[in-house]
Amino acid sequence: METENKDIEHTLVIIKPDGISRSLTGNILAMLSHPESIIVGAKVVKVTREIAIAHYAHLKEKPFFDELIDYITGNWHANRVICLVYEGNDVIQRVRNIAGATNPEEALPNTIRGKYGRIHSKTGVFENTIHCSENKSEAEREIKLWFRPEEIVHNIYPVESKTDTLEHLYWK
Ligand code: DAT
Ligand code: MG
């Protein structure tokens, strides 16, 4: 079943490596909790350089790009992140409001980034503990990058079935 209500949005949230290593997962999830923000997908991911570069492709020309990739792939903290897909009316903006401004020094103190973010003193990278999609098209691009359709509780975007010859691991 695809989502029928056109007002329903989806957004990708990533609890970044600093959020994991500083045991902030519970606090971040509690702050994101809202009756109209429903989690429809969640997983722990070891971030490869490949997915990190694809995720931040639009920031390739920025002077902090290499450090940003080091940060998100876990070179400074934990080598994993938690990815979540939230569903709900207006969920993209609601999550961004709760996350706060990109720069932790500018984020309001009652937001996730305002409470828990910091600027790395050597690299200047904003270690802001959480990623959240900026708009509908970015959300779709990012969700499709990080999640396969089977990992989300219903088909939030159209799917097609293909048979492939990839080898998969099974429990012995
Ligand atoms: P956001 O994550 O709020 O959507 P973004 O997409 O512009 O912001 O940037 C992605 C990440 O890159 C951001 O969460 C932290 C880092 N970053 C952005 N701007 C930066 C800057 N001027 N200096 C250092 N790190 C920055
Ligand atoms: Mg962004």
In sequence order, which residues have a C-beta less than 8 Å from that of residue 122 and are 6 or more positions away?
A: none
Atom of ligand 1 nearest to the CA of 96: 3
> What DSSP string runs through the chain?
-B---TTEEEEEEEE-HHHHHTT-HHHHHHHH-BTTBEEEEEEEEPPPHHHHHHHTGGGTTSTTHHHHHHHHTTSSS-S-EEEEEEEEETHHHHHHHHH--SSTTTS-TTSHHHHH-EE-TTT--EE-SEEE-SSHHHHHHHHHHH--GGGSSSBSS---------------
- Please name each of the domains of the chain with its CATH number: 8-151 (3.30.70.141)
Taking the centre of ligand 2 as the mean of its atom positions, its distance from the CA of residue 102, in whole angstroms, is 8
CA of 132 to the centre of ligand 2 (A): 7
Distance 125 CA to ligand 1 centre (A): 8
Q: Over the stretch 122-162, which tens digit does the pLDDT of each residue have?
A: 889 999 999 999 999 999 999 999 999 999 999 999 999 99
Pocket test for ligand 1, best of 11, 47, 61, 68 (most atoms within 8 A of CB): 68
Atom of ligand 1 nearest to the CA of 101: 3
Q: What is the pLDDT of residues 21-52, one digit of tens each?
A: 999 999 999 999 999 999 999 999 999 999 99
Pocket of ligand 1 (CB under 6 A): 59, 64, 68, 102, 124-126, 128, 131, 134
Residue 124 CA: which ligand 1 atom is closest? 24
Give tens-digit pLDDT for 59-73: 999 999 999 999 999
**What pLDDT is stored for residue 5 in this prediction?**
73
Identified catalytic residue from 10, 55, 77, 131? 131
